[in-house]
Amino acid sequence: MPNKKDQQEPVCAVYCVHDQIVKEAKEQMLIPVQAIRLAETFKILGDPNRVQLINILAGREICVCDIAVILGMSTSAVSHQLRLLRNLKLVKYRKEGKMVYYTLDDHHIVNLFEEGLEHIKHT
Amino acid sequence: MPNKKDQQEPVCAVYCVHDQIVKEAKEQMLIPVQAIRLAETFKILGDPNRVQLINILAGREICVCDIAVILGMSTSAVSHQLRLLRNLKLVKYRKEGKMVYYTLDDHHIVNLFEEGLEHIKHT
DNA sequence: CTAACAACTGAACATATATTCATATATTCA
DNA sequence: TGAATATATGAATATATGTTCAGTTGTTAG
């Protein structure tokens, strides 16, 4: 533990700070917009219903009504969840008459999902 | 679109259901405990401060006080966040005197983090 | 045109999560 | 032992999130 004279801010009340480590870690920090976008992406996956929803979409194109039946949710609730996923560009959709068919927008999201699944299976 | 007679539940008010797709998707659903654990793992990564925290821990072992300085948070707030990560076995710690040094528990979490980072960089 | 229906949306409520503050625990050193 | 300090925790408040309900939009069929 460095003493007072090693500190960059010797008046600071916190004396346990390791200046070199703090300096390096600060330089390697993500820029705020990256941290926020990454967190948003993870957060949207942080709900059991949406995890099941992504899992369904990973296998097939499917309409809102079918999703509602599978998840045992109202179509309204499903639609709200799909809007969240749409806003983050995680899903895309195709209109066919009255129906709207959803798919995953991007293969990265499948990779991320699979990686997470492997993680919890090995713990 | 199947007609009424194709339905497993012909009295159901929803006629747009694709029985075969619903059946297949239901069979491929995650078991609830898996969906919940996976969602918990993603959710814990779904916060910009924790994203930065994981990023810091991905590079080095570091004490609570240094993390607080780097993130500009109180040590109390950092400690609460670390407890969340500990509860999900995402980080582990080592005591040395008064200090507690944290590291990531598991290389899977680094993979997951890196995969997410790649995802947002390519969008 | 109207009726029926799939999906979407805004707003209100209920629940969950995060932050803060005060205090507790554990360790070191005098 | 007692003072200082690094971290952890419980509880209360503030904030965010999810669900439901009511109503809207857009499409098809008659």
Name the nucleotide nearest A15; use CA and C1': D5
Tens of pLDDT, residue by residue over A23-39, are 999 999 999 999 999 99
Question: Quick check: A79 pLDDT over 80?
Answer: yes
Q: Higher-confidence residue: B25 or A16?
A: B25
Distance from CA of B3 to the nearest CA of A (A): 15
Nucleotides of C under 7 A from a protein CB: 5-11, 17-23, 26-28
Asked whether the beta carbons of A39 and A31 are under 8 A apart, the reply is no
What is chain A's mean pLDDT, rounded? 87
Tens of pLDDT, residue by residue over B9-57, are 333 345 688 999 999 999 999 999 999 999 999 999 999 999 999 999 9
Asked whether the beta carbons of A72 and A64 are under 8 A apart, the reply is no
Region B56-64: mean pLDDT is 96
Asked whether the beta carbons of A88 and B120 are under 8 A apart, the reply is no
pLDDT (0 to 100) of residue A122: 75
A20 strand D contact, CB < 7 Å? no
Question: Quick check: B5 pLDDT over 60?
Answer: no
Nearest by CB to residue B52, choosing from A35, A37, A43, is A35
Region A80-102: mean pLDDT is 96
Question: Quick check: A11 pLDDT over 50?
Answer: no
How many Å from the CA of A89 to C1' of D22? Answer: 29
pLDDT (0 to 100) of residue A5: 30
Could you give the angle at which helices B48-57 and B64-71 cross, rounded to 10 degrees? Answer: 130
- Domains belonging to chain B, first-starting first, are 1-30 (no CATH), 31-121 (1.10.10.10)
Q: What is the number of helices (H) and of strands (E) in chain A? A: 6, 3
- Please give the helix or strand (H or E) that residue A91 lies within, else none: strand A91-96
Tens of pLDDT, residue by residue over B76-120, are 999 999 999 999 999 999 999 999 999 999 888 999 999 999 888
Q: Which residues of B touch A39 (CB under 8 A)?
A: 45-48, 50-51
